């Protein structure tokens, strides 16, 4: 089944202990769609400026990503600068130029009307809700957000959470959203806000999925997929979006929609996140093979598998 992602396409300047790069293709929708493209057909709704060239377009089309939903607007593409010199786990933002992204009003092409899997990357919660409401045939909606919206648009975000099936956020965000420092209790509070399942990303330690009682089948307990940095972490940018791409892409590729599928999807999320950080920008995600992905899936599986 095809999956639609709505989010940002950007040009990034990144500095990490491994070096500095400028003007590289990034943005949540870019990382997500490249990661998901190894599992299923991907559609993108985003906005770019006049500086988005055929070369950038080819990064998507070489992975057979459907970019009919990328709107070309007058002006410049969203630009972001981040520095990981002090802390590989969190970027210090050096600049944010929203440019054409400032007035982004996602338009879903009519060719995308039959979309069954939807991912709402980190944009204003009201826009996320509007997109979700406009898509009637969707079977499963995933959603991301960030501390900025949790703090400044809590009511809008709460309304959006009633419309999504799976929320994917990190430890800090879930505790902030729930006003609760104990992780399992914070998870229960967020699930009570709407989603059927909550994926909490723990950075280099993997991710945990918590389920609403009875959601996606029967089971008492949460599930954890561990990760381990295999190679050097060169650039953490896009790790979370690549995680979401692997997670949602795998789900969209399966016939069934149950807990076992979501558990395996959690592992594929970790796998794609771990590939993303091995090179600057989207470089590693552009040239993977399904065999490399399966090999790392097995390594992560064996990492916690008792005989």
Q: Kindly list the residues in this chain that would bind a second copy in the complex (CB under 8 A).
A: 17, 88, 181-184, 202, 204-206, 208, 221-226, 228-230, 232-233, 260, 263-264, 267, 299, 301-307
Query: In angstroms, what is the minimal distance from the CB of 51 to a second copy?
Result: 35
DSSP summary character for residue 200: E
Query: In angstroms, what is the minimal distance from the CB of 191 to a second copy?
Result: 15
Nearer to a second copy, 215 or 299 (CB): 299
DSSP summary character for residue 86: S
Nearer to a second copy, 55 or 307 (CB): 307
Query: In angstroms, what is the minimal distance from the CB of 19 to a second copy?
Result: 16
Nearer to a second copy, 48 or 266 (CB): 266
Find out whether 209 and 184 touch, Cβ atoms under 8 Å. Answer: no
Query: In angstroms, what is the minimal distance from the CB of 168 to a second copy?
Result: 18
CA separation for the pair 120, 127 (Å, rounded): 9
Find out whether 28 and 122 touch, Cβ atoms under 8 Å. Answer: yes
Helix residue ranges per DSSP H, 207-258: 239-253
Nearer to a second copy, 130 or 301 (CB): 301
Query: In angstroms, what is the minimal distance from the CB of 263 to a second copy?
Result: 6
CA separation for the pair 148, 124 (Å, rounded): 10
Query: In angstroms, what is the minimal distance from the CB of 187 to a second copy?
Result: 10
Give Cα separations from 136 to 7, 113, 120, 132 (angstroms).
19, 8, 15, 8
CA separation for the pair 203, 208 (Å, rounded): 11
Instruction: Sort residue 143 into left (φ over 0), alpha (ψ -120 to 50) or beta.
Output: beta
Nearer to a second copy, 53 or 181 (CB): 181
Nearer to a second copy, 29 or 225 (CB): 225
């Amino acid at each position: 089944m095809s999956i639609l992602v709505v989010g940002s396409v950007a040009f990034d300047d990144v500095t990490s202990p491994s070096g500095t790069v400028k003007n590289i293709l990034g943005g949540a929708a870019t990382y997500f769609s490249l990661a998901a493209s190894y599992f299923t057909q991907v559609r993108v709704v985003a906005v770019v400026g006049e500086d988005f060239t055929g070369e950038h377009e080819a990064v998507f089309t070489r992975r057979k990503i459907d970019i009919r939903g990328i709107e070309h607007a007058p002006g410049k593409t969203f630009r972001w600068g981040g520095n990981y010199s002090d802390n590989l786990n969190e970027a210090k933002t050096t600049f944010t130029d929203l440019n054409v992204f400032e007035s982004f009003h996602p338009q879903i092409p009519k060719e995308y009307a039959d979309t069954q899997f939807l991912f709402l990357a980190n944009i204003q919660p009201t826009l996320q809700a509007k997109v979700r409401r406009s898509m009637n045939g969707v079977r499963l909606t995933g959603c991301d957000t960030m501390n900025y919206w949790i703090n400044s648009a809590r009511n809008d975000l709460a309304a959006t959470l009633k419309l999504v099936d799976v929320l994917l956020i990190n430890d800090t965000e879930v505790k902030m959203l729930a006003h609760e420092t104990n992780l399992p209790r914070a998870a229960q509070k967020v699930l009570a806000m709407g989603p059927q399942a909550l994926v909490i990303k723990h950075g280099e330690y993997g991710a945990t999925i918590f389920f609403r009682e009875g959601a996606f089948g029967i089971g008492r307990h949460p599930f954890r997929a561990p990760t381990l940095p295999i190679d050097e972490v060169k650039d953490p940018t896009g790790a979370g979006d690549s995680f979401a791409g692997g997670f949602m892409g795998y789900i969209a590729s399966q016939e069934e929609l149950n807990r076992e599928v979501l558990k395996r999807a959690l592992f594929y999320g970790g796998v794609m996140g771990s590939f993303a950080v091995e090179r600057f920008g989207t470089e590693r995600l552009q040239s993977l093979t399904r065999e490399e992905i399966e090999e790392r899936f097995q390594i992560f599986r064996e990492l916690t598998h008792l005989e």
